[in-house]
Amino acid sequence: MKEEQSSLLLKSSSLFPPPQGVKLSYGTAGFRADASILKSAVYRVGILAALRSLKTQSVVGVMITASHNKVTDNGVKIVDPSGGMLSQEWEPFADQLVNAQTPETLLSIIRECVEKEKIPFDGVQSAEILLGRDTRPSGESLLEAAKHGISSIFGAIALDLGILTTPQLHWMVHARNKGMKATEPAYFEQISSSFRCLIDLIPNGTKVNKLDNRVVVDGADGVGGEKLLVLKNILTDLVNEVRNSGKDGGLLNDGVGADYVQKEKVVPRGFGSNDVGKRCASLDGDADRLVYFSVPSNSSSKIDLVDGDKMLSLFALFIKEQLNILTREGNKKSNNNFQAHLGVVQTAYANGASTDYLKQLGLEVIFTPTGVKHLHEKAAQFDIGIYFEANGHGTILFSESFLSWLEARNNELALVSEGSEQQKAALRLLSVSKLINQAVGDALSCLLLVEAILQHMDWSIHKWNELYQDLPSRQLKVKVVDRTAVVTTNAETVAVTPPGIQEAIDAETAKYPRGRCFIRPSGTEDVVRVYAEASTQEGADSLANSVAKLVDQFLGSGSSAR
């Protein structure tokens, strides 16, 4: 590293001293904390992004958001060249970089990384970083800190794309590295045209009631609400109304949004008895999660929730149907056949009823540890891999080899049987691959896909919700002194340590019809999480409480569950 580069890093880093007594850790959400203590971390993530871009010789992204957290929080994360999350191999380096206490220590860590990763750090190679932020008031100043970090690396250029949803930035990084147009208008054009194609391919016999085919959306008073208003103008017959759009002075994520609706199972602010019978949906603060709900006719504030598990089931059902059409007997005359490997990926938190339903469809269901990075990696191993968490975050991944075959098959069918059911099925799958965000869960693209499939099926939200009945469940947290005392295996469903605790959990679970229970240590706080299911709510509550007491007993926390 040249002396001029070292001097620049020492000088610029002295402007962004780290907060005393604070240690940050890079996780699925990147770094996230109260916005008032994040400037140093965001500055250093700017440096990290520049190094990552130099290493990969590709465009990377930096997104400033705290998603569904309260408005006073903020966060920062890197988007890798694929459009996915930062490589897990770089997470420890991110932690070291952000927690370095002096400019000299920071410089030493950067030098070690440059040497270990063989980063071309000669000032000749260029780095390009796309920047985005959500609508939080703290976002603008944190964005400036990121720019300072990026500009402290010779050859690194920051391109400020302004206010975006998190999935939009992921999409743009992915598109830029594929040589495609990476702008917000290009994003809207791709998802809206793909949606229109799916609508045009709805079977002729399907009765579409326009009054029932419009959805009312809660925008969480965040960036998603703003962007949905843009989409509403492009697709005028899609969204009936956007509430909590961020334009009416509401507070971000305060009694609104997908996270609130999914966890509390109550109507968000701005919804009530006037919405009985309507199809409603909620985005989260940065629009990477989506859940649907309907307001029941009683006076309670409770809702009928349609969560990520139900969305996964709807998508799986539709895609399986299109694959079946493509492989019908008459289609086998082609010499261009491809047995697509369709798989579904869930975590242990997926409701057991959803897993049973998917298996009844004949689908392969794989489980991974909690966390999008695990789900995404496993889904990418299929020709078509679908993953969703119950919180409404997920997507559908299509392999390059399958898409190449599908394009060829569609061209072949266009020549010999244009307009046939097989060709329509091929076109639907191609449209889904362009509509759904291949980089990350995207509430806007998922909303369009749900709406297109419901119209295709001629289903109401109630019909969709009746695919299966969720098993009653309960989640608890138990405070412990050392959460690392719990070690799990089998996608976090079996506790290996402390010795004997799994046998005790199994014995307790066996007492309840359709009982299922597991424990796992939190990744961010000193608690052990307990998840329980049973055939009744009373049973699920009782099982969760009993296992929480076992955790307390085996770990000696001396603390009650909550």
- Alpha-carbon distance of 469 to 110, in angstroms, equals 53
The distance of Cα 93 from the centroid of its chain, to the nearest Å, equals 24
Closest CA to 321 of 424, 236, 230, 418: 424
Tell me if 524 is assigned to a ligand binding site.
yes
What phi and psi, each to the nearest 5 degrees, are found at residue 513?
Answer: -55, 130
Q: Tell whether 284 is in a known binding site.
A: yes
Q: Whose structure tokens read 């869960």?
A: 441
Q: How many CB atoms lie within 10 A of CB 481?
A: 11
Q: Is 67 annotated as belonging to a binding site? A: yes
C-alpha closest to that of 119 among 53, 61, 54: 54
CB 9 within 8 A of CB 107: yes
| Residue 254 token pair | 């305060």
Is 523 assigned a ligand-binding role in the annotation? yes
Q: For residue 464, give the nearest of 351, 306, 356, 355 by alpha carbon.
A: 306
Q: How many CA atoms lie within 13 A of 504 on its CB side?
A: 18
Q: What is the per-residue DSSP string for 72-140? A: TEEEEEEEPTTSSBPPGGGHHHHHHHHH--SHHHHHHHHHHHHHHHT---SSSS-EEEEEEE-S-TTHH
CA separation for the pair 524, 178 (Å, rounded): 35
Q: Is 389 annotated as a binding residue?
A: yes
**Run of H or E residues at 496:** strand 494-497
Q: How far apart, in whole angstroms, are the C-alpha atoms of residue 293 and residue 109?
A: 48
Distance CA 353, CA 99 (A): 43
**Ramachandran angles phi, psi of 346, nearest 5°:** -135, 170
Q: Which amino acid is located at 338 in the chain?
A: F
Dist CA 467 CA 174 (whole Å):
34
CB 163 within 8 A of CB 137: no
- Single-letter amino acid code for the residue at 450: V
Question: Does the annotation list 275 as a binding residue?
Answer: no
Active site (annotated) includes residue 67: yes
Is 391 labeled as ligand-binding?
A: yes
CA 42 distance to own-chain centroid:
22
Question: What type of residue sits at position 449?
Answer: L
529 is in an annotated binding site: yes
CB atoms within 10 A of CB 45: 32
Name the token pair of 218. Answer: 């809660």
Q: Which two tokens stand for residue 87?
A: 């490589």
> Is 288 annotated as contributing to ligand binding?
yes
CA 154 – CA 53 distance, rounded (Å): 12
Q: Which of 40, 67, 354, 431 is catalytic?
A: 67
Matching residue, tokens 């569904």: 68
DSSP secondary structure string, 435-467? HS-SSS--HHHHHHHHHHHHHHHT--HHHHHTT
d(CA 466, CA 489): 33
Establish whether 520 is an annotated binding residue.
yes
Identify the DSSP state of 75: E
Residues marked active site are found at: 67
Please enumerate, by residue number, every residue annotated as part of a binding site for Mg(2+).
67, 284, 286, 288
Please enumerate, by residue number, every residue annotated as part of a binding site.
67, 284, 286, 288, 389-391, 520-524, 529
Please enumerate, by residue number, every residue annotated as part of a binding site for substrate.
389-391, 520-524, 529
